[in-house]
Structure 1
């Protein structure tokens, strides 16, 4: 939200006071001032107001979360370790599949050779039986020749099946390097996304904004603003009701974990776990 002007006194201060004095919808025993101020989860906090790009008055409360950047750094390291461990599992499984698949073409080639040999043998026997039956004119011999022909057809199907097995084995073996390359790209993308989200964070702030007009206070936005080493900022939306409900009950490190979406078992400065 663009800041067009900053009101530090006069009506700006009055609008800030109006927001501060407004009862929290989730708990009317609290005003926004008592709900947000004096929390141990904040390294420092401040209220200010400004005009947005449509000339509406916006009151903003900003809390720099205590140990927020360090907590996200530890979470980043854990996510990197977890991601790398997951993909190592994929690679291990792929290596096992590759080892097994490397033997499949040999087995399929033997299956095909055996099927072709049997087909050739049956074909030879059938040709001989036909020749003998024709020469003798024996009806029984002719019927046997027809039976032999059925055996040849079955053997031909066995050859075709063996050929398909061989083709499939070769295709699988050829495709495994491509599968590994796909996994490697997925790992690279996952690590890049972690770095984009959590890398280089120097400050994490919880931000609440309200629109104020004629003493009417309307919640506008709540979320987390991450400041990076290069001076850029990244905003992450949060749910208004859930965030307020949580901070009314948790005002210390537990709220920092909750608003940053960091698991409770992650601590600032913590090394990644092996589990």
Structure 2
């Protein structure tokens, strides 16, 4: 019985000691001066924020057994703002790509119809074939006058050149039309894939967010603290968490001057014209 009591007492003392250690490390961070503003400690900078529904301090060990102190702030209306922002980003993305598609439609409309050009090419080839079949004058068709014969041959050659040129021109126009048409189709396929990827990325980042939490982390060793990470964690309906990096100095600098909804929007990159619930 005595042994059991001693074991329980030891466990309780160990728990208190560990809690005290964690509390001391948190106090070390809280008491540190904020580099951007020597009138603030991290405690005064991060406490009593109107931007938080709930805030808390924690300690944990990372994968390399370093002690990490963490401050977490569940952002007010964060999930609702991101939901509205997601809808706006989807709408803006679709609007942008509709503009691209409209431009492609205009380009496609300016391209000559390949079927019509194929008919023109066939007609030109037929005319050339007829001239080639006639060939040079022979027999009774040969003029008696040498000058007339010379002129006839010249006229025949000239007509042949014109017909050959018409075939080549018709072929070029057909090739250009087909190439331009294929180019438009390729551009449309590329835009469609880019739109799909953009919408998937928007949904991957913002869809199903149930909570947005601003996080600051420090490494602590004895009385030395080193900034580790700052950013936003997005908790999703499926239980997953997405992490978005934020610049430490910029985020904390904004926080020192903006304590409410304006900071929530700043850290989430949500414009002022986005209204939660719409």
TM-score range, shorter chain: 0.7 to 0.9
Counterpart position of 2:193 = 185
Counterpart position of 1:62 = 72
**1:40-55 paired onto structure 2 within 5 Å:** 40-55=50-65
Coordinate RMSD, CA, aligned: 3.1
8 Å contact kept, 2:136–2:156: no
Counterpart position of 1:87 = 97
1:254 to 224, 242, 262: 262
Task: Mark the runs of 5 or more structure 1 residues left unpaired by the alignment.
Answer: 271-275
Counterpart-to-counterpart distance in 2, 1:117 and 1:162: 12
Counterpart-to-counterpart distance in 2, 1:13 and 1:47: 9
Q: How many Å apart are 1:51 and its aligned residue?
A: 1.5
Residue 235 (1) aligns with residue 227 (2): no
Residue 111 (1) aligns with residue 135 (2): no
8 Å contact kept, 2:143–2:149: no
Counterpart-to-counterpart distance in 2, 1:125 and 1:187: 59
1:37 to 24, 36, 47: 47
Counterpart position of 1:217 = 225
8 Å contact kept, 1:133–1:139: no
Counterpart-to-counterpart distance in 1, 2:162 and 2:54: 84
Counterpart-to-counterpart distance in 2, 1:224 and 1:243: 11
Q: How many Å apart are 1:8 and its aligned residue?
A: 6.7
1:71 to 81, 85, 95: 81
Counterpart position of 1:268 = 276
Query: How high is the TM-score relative to the length of structure 2?
Result: 0.81
Counterpart-to-counterpart distance in 1, 2:156 and 2:248: 82
Counterpart position of 1:196 = 204
Secondary structure class of the residue paired with 1:34: helix
Name which one, 1 or 2, has greater alpha-carbon Rg: 2
Per-residue CA shift, 1:109-166, capped at 9, x if unaligned? 35324533553565577623x8799775826743763564255234313202202322
Counterpart position of 1:160 = 168
Query: How high is the TM-score relative to the length of structure 1?
Result: 0.82
